[in-house]
Chains A and B, each alone.
Chain A
């Protein structure tokens, strides 16, 4: 089955620093999604990517859909304490009625004030 490798597994940074995390896949994805999960909550969608090469921003967050369609990265600029949480990438392989997502294992971000 599909596998997503997400790195790094965890990051400890100082407030104000930029952050970068990425996911690589063994399969081609048609959609890449980035979610953030706070403790005891469900994942919240940050950015959705639909086309190879697409670069999309949401405030201080920027994500790109890799040209090969097998990778994606998420950047967070000028981090703040509320950025703390677990970030998950997720990909969808095909169209049609198969809507299942494959999730990365997550990146735990800690921001020191």
Chain B
């Protein structure tokens, strides 16, 4: 079964509103989680590394004020897309790092559509 739960799987919102996506590790603690964005027929693009108890590390070109990340517990990271615009429409995927196995496990993804 799934070891990482991502919610919601699909969200439609109006331009200018904010959307929160949750990522939970189900049977292990994850001090490190990752947020990716994926465009159609393309590979995963890392947006940021989410670190429990500290600030997220953003990749170059990713606006930290636009994509707010909170990793308040060892099993939950959230990504908030603030003041969403149509160009933010995309497939967002999280992963959780299981350090003892050196493996990233992925959530099922969230399809965001901004009208």
Contacts and interface: CB of A to CB of B under 8 A. Distances in A.
B is a partner of A: yes
Contact of A42 (B42, B46, B107): B107
Interface residues of B, number: 25
Given A88-B44, A104-B43, A50 B106 contact: no
Contacts of B93: 42-43
Interface of B: 4, 6, 32, 34, 41-44, 46, 49, 91, 93, 95, 97, 99, 101-109, 111
A20 to B, nearest CB: 20
- The 4 tightest CB contacts between A and B, nearest first, are A42-B106, A42-B109, A42-B108, A43-B106
Most chain A C-beta atoms within 10 Å of own C-beta, residue among B34, B46, B103 = B103
Interface residues of A, number: 23
Contacts of A33: 103-104
